[in-house]
Amino acid sequence: MHKEIHLQSQTLKSLIENSVHLFPENPSISFVQGQPINYTRLGKEIERVADLLFSYGLKKGDKIALFSHNMPNWVIAFFSVVSKGLVIVPILPDFSAEETKNVLEHSESKVLFVSERLYSRVESFSIPALETIIKLDDFSVIKSNKEQVLTKAPDVNVDETDIASIIYTSGTTGRSKGVMLSHKNMTYVAATSFSVFPINHEDVFLSFLPLSHTYENAIGMLYPIMYGASIFYLEKPPTAAALLPALAKIRPTMMLSVPLIMEKIFKVQVQGKFAKNHFSRMIYKTPLFRVLIHRIAGKKLYRTFGGRLKFFGIGGAKLDARVERFLKEGRMPYAIGYGLTETAPLLAGASPHQTKLHSTGFAIKGVELKIHDPNDKGVGEIWAKGPNVMMGYYKNPEATAEVLVEGGWFRTGDYGRFDRHNRLFIKGRMKNMILSASGENIYPEDIESVLNNNQYVLESLVVEEDGYLVAKVLLDLESLEKHYEHLKSIIEDKKLQYHEWLTNFTKEINEKLNKFSQLKRVDVMHEPFEKTASQKIKRFLYTKKKK
């Protein structure tokens, strides 16, 4: 039975108190190999950690940073902060020491929760505002320059317009900005997720995307907790070796992922098996056989995922067209979403029964989307308005004024269009768009999709250099080597055969592109691309500055 829950107030304090009251004996959070604690115990742990925080003389509005990989204590620390009127500053675990220091200084955080695993990254910091460091693994105090006075955390009055979180985005465009989200921003997305796909207290989530990213935070943590569901966390990074046994043990009903993970599964489990020889490639190209192959592979994948998955949410970046076709034809219960940190994050979504190839679905309930200044193809910048749009960038009124414009509209910086049913289709980031010499709009993401469909390409990036389009690709050398003997030595020695292969590869790709999108050159990368938390490549690192 799926019954919608309505909170007394749109605050994170109301959300957690309501769940502790409604689902006292339900299992709440746990490591995959651990024993879940129930919601009553979760509530008590949150209070205990809140008491610890306030024993160091904190007051409403103080900033508390949280720097760790996912674990049950991450959730406890989060709610001990936001339910008491303090402001949480989650830091992405893949932030470098310099980025982490910038966040701590800029946010003026007074307390830092840090996991034992990441402590070495912050150990040498000397930051005047930072008074106390607490080890997240067991909530022991590592160091503090404040005297501890044992006290109970006060019952702070929290308003829905109060700032709940400052999230520093690991932007694809350079230095990160602090996105200020109110309690209403954050609870609204959790509450509205019910209208996209309803859940109840019997649902089981397996969580492996960073909780410091709004996507996992809102839909993978706040939403299940609001409905008394249980959440399990991986003890290790989400490699196949860690993920497969976890899926078998937990048998989740709900999961969130980023495209990269599903693209890897597709390349190995589906494409890799049907590209072995000419005959199997020919069979796979026939639509009837392809659908049949996808159906069989989809059934197998569903069993691998535990056999009771109802919702497999994919967001954070553009999903490869072939991978989506496989999910659709393989009858995987996948769902697509679109949003940004600045919108907490969801703007549009489609549940498993609504998905349409290449679309990110419909605007979520209560959110208005429009295409600003569309061209003759209906493509323009996506603008959004709704209760989940951020308060602004912390201590950055100039950047705020650039994106929050008259009438309460938020400029997303993404190009998109609607079809006649009001489904949203994303074309690409405005900053990424390349204007050709003949005035054509070129979306590098579209070319990258063609490149990534090649069985030997793991990742790709298309940039403009000296007026030409250049592709940077990371190749699957192991697969290539099976087809071309000694390819590694050929690549290392830069021999003629390799250049021949690369020339043929470039020609093959160009045959699939329109004349405006032709590649001048393909550069082979020898290291994986640097990425953001949602596994988007940090483009600014690979783009030549124009003189």
Pair 359, 263 in one domain: yes
Residue 525 within a domain: yes
User: 500 exposed, middle or buried (CB, 10 Å; 0-12, 13-18, 19+)?
Assistant: exposed
Pair 111, 231 in one domain: no
> What does the pLDDT look like over 14-32, one tens digit per residue?
999 999 999 999 999 999 9
Pair 154, 221 in one domain: no
Residue 190 within a domain: no
pLDDT for 490 equals: 52
Pair 291, 259 in one domain: yes
> What does the pLDDT look like over 351-401, one tens digit per residue?
999 999 999 999 999 999 999 999 999 999 999 999 999 999 999 999 999
Provide the CATH number for the domain around residue 460.
3.30.300.30
Provide the CATH number for the domain around residue 51.
3.40.50.980
The rounded distance, in Å, linking the Cα atoms of 314 and 324 is 10
Pair 511, 402 in one domain: no
The domain boundary, picked from 408, 429, 450, lies at 429
The domain boundary, picked from 429, 461, 483, lies at 429
Residue 48 within a domain: yes
* Short-list 358, 359, 309, 316, CA closest to 334: 309
The rounded distance, in Å, linking the Cα atoms of 257 and 60 is 35
Pair 224, 297 in one domain: yes
Pair 115, 155 in one domain: yes
Residue 547 within a domain: no
298 Cα distance to chain centroid: 24
Pair 403, 474 in one domain: no
The domain boundary, picked from 391, 406, 429, lies at 429
φ/ψ of 307, rounded to 5, equals 80, 5
Provide the CATH number for the domain around residue 409.
3.40.50.12780
Pair 498, 532 in one domain: yes
| Residue range(s) defining the domain that contains residue 332 | 217-429
Q: Give the H/E segment covering residue 492.
A: helix 487-493
Pair 480, 445 in one domain: yes
pLDDT for 363 equals: 98
pLDDT for 547 equals: 41
Residue 441 within a domain: yes
State whether residue 84 is helix, strand or coil.
Answer: coil
Count structural domains, the chain: 3
Pair 276, 416 in one domain: yes
* Short-list 338, 339, 342, CA closest to 350: 338
Pair 129, 112 in one domain: yes
pLDDT for 484 equals: 63
The rounded distance, in Å, linking the Cα atoms of 190 and 221 is 9
In this prediction the pTM is: 0.89
Residue 192 within a domain: no
Long-range interactions of 365-368: CB distance < 8 A, separation 24+: 365/192, 365/195, 366/188, 366/192, 367/192, 367/343
Residue 329 within a domain: yes
Output the six-digit token pair for 290. Answer: 């392809």
Each residue's pLDDT, cut to its tens digit, for the chain (547 residues) gives 789 999 999 999 999 999 999 999 999 999 999 999 999 999 999 999 999 999 999 999 999 999 999 999 999 999 999 999 999 999 999 888 888 999 999 999 999 999 999 999 999 999 999 999 999 999 999 999 999 998 899 999 999 999 999 999 854 444 679 999 999 999 999 999 999 999 999 999 999 999 999 999 999 999 999 999 999 999 988 888 889 999 999 999 999 998 888 888 888 778 777 766 777 878 888 999 999 999 999 999 999 999 999 999 998 878 888 899 999 999 999 999 999 999 999 999 999 999 999 999 999 999 999 999 999 999 999 999 999 999 999 999 999 999 999 999 999 999 999 999 999 999 999 989 998 777 788 999 989 989 988 888 989 999 999 889 999 999 987 777 766 655 555 555 545 566 777 888 999 999 999 888 999 999 999 899 998 877 788 888 898 754 4
Residue 3 within a domain: no
